[in-house]
């Protein structure tokens, strides 16, 4: 299995590099490729799982520019069923543009979506939702929201917390095996059952490592997130 961590020097905020670390522990024989901005992404030759993590606003600009020449190749891989996971604000690069008071960052235009950043309004809170028939527990911490067109599928249905924007009933975006999500956690170690499903979808019979311990922590979190007396933040 070829796993690509795109732009690790940019997309490494909020502990999300642990998605890759956890995946590599689950599939120890996988090949891990770290691609820097300016280098040819591994997915252009073929990869099984490609990950990009949350970044600063400056990082978004650099990453969007670095990925722009590879937009067509990325779309081709999406069509072929390659798994992509873009977490935090890296998801916004997939849309048409990212707007803020001082800048407009052109996106890759792969999704019918735009994003709006307001550095004076940070949203924090936990998230409870459902994806692939599994209850997801995760966190939000962001300055931006995204606004997809009507035909864009979401990643998870919102049960508690906010979705892709404050009025949305779903969180994130999904296009075949490409998932874009604002959810932090990191998503994989925090959601062992969903990770199990992901591993199976990647064609491996590997189980999530430390499944029992991850599941115990997940169950405790799930109980807390489901408790209406607990505030989102």
Partner 1 sequence: MKRVKFIAALWCAKFVNILLRLLGRKGTYMPGKLAIKVCPDYIAQIRKPPRVVAITGTNGKTTVNNMLSDALEALGSKVLSNRFGSNINAGIAAALTDGVDIFGHLKCDIAVLECDERSSALIYPGLKPQIILVTNLFRDSMRRNADAEYIADFISKNVTENTKLILNADDLLSSSLAPDNPRVYYGIDRLPFEGEPKENIVVDTRICPICAGSLAWDFRRYNHIGRARCPSCGFAAPEPHYRIRSADIDNMTALVEDEGEERLIKLPGDAVYNIYNTLAVYAALRELGVEGSQAAAVLESIKIVGSRFSRQSIGGRELTVIMAKGLNAVACTRSFDYVASQTGKRLVVLMLDDVFDEKESSENIAWYYDADFEFLAQEDIFQIAAVGPRRLDIRLRLLIAGVPEERILTAAGLKEISEAIDVAGSEKIFVLYELYRESSAAELAGLIADKMRSVSV
In this structure, what DSSP letter does residue 224 have? Answer: H
Q: Which of 65, 66, 33 is nearest to 47 (CA)?
A: 33
Residue 17 or 44 with smaller CB distance to partner 1: 17
Round to whole Å and give the CA distance between 71 and 108: 6
Residue 65 or 175 with smaller CB distance to partner 1: 65
In whole angstroms, the minimum distance from the beta carbon of 18 to partner 1 comes to: 4
User: Which residue do the tokens 């979705």 mark?
Assistant: 163
Round to whole Å and give the CA distance between 165 and 57: 18
Residue 87 or 177 with smaller CB distance to partner 1: 87
Round to whole Å and give the CA distance between 14 and 169: 24
Structure tokens at 96: 């048409």
Residue 106 or 112 with smaller CB distance to partner 1: 106
Binding site for partner 1 (CB under 8 A): 9-10, 12-18, 21-22, 25, 36-37, 56-58, 62, 119, 122, 124, 126, 139, 141, 143, 184-186, 189, 209-210, 213-214, 216-217, 220-221, 224-225, 230-233
């Amino acid at each position: 299995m070829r796993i690509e961590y795109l732009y690790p020097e940019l997309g490494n905020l909020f502990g999300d590099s642990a998605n890759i670390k956890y995946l590599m522990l689950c599939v120890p024989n996988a090949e891990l490729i770290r691609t820097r901005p300016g280098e040819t992404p591994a997915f252009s030759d073929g990869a099984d799982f490609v990950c990009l993590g949350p970044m600063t606003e400056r990082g978004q600009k650099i990453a969007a520019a670095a990925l722009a020449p590879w937009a067509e190749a990325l779309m081709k891989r999406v069509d072929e069923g390659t798994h992509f996971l873009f977490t935090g604000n890296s998801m916004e690069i997939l849309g048409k543009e990212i707007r803020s008071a001082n800048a407009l960052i052109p996106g890759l235009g792969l999704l019918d979506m735009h994003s709006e950043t307001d550095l004076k309004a940070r949203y924090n809170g936990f998230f409870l939702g459902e994806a692939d028939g599994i209850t997801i527990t995760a966190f939000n911490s962001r300055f931006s929201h995204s606004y997809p067109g009507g035909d864009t599928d979401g990643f998870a249905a919102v049960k508690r917390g906010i979705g892709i924007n404050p009025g949305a009933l779903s969180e994130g975006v999904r296009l075949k095996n490409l998932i874009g999500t604002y959810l932090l956690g990191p998503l994989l170690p925090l959601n062992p059952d969903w990770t199990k499903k992901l591993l199976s979808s990647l064609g491996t019979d590997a189980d999530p490592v430390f499944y029992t311990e991850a599941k115990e922590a997940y169950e405790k979190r799930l109980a807390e997130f489901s408790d209406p007396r607990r505030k989102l933040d």
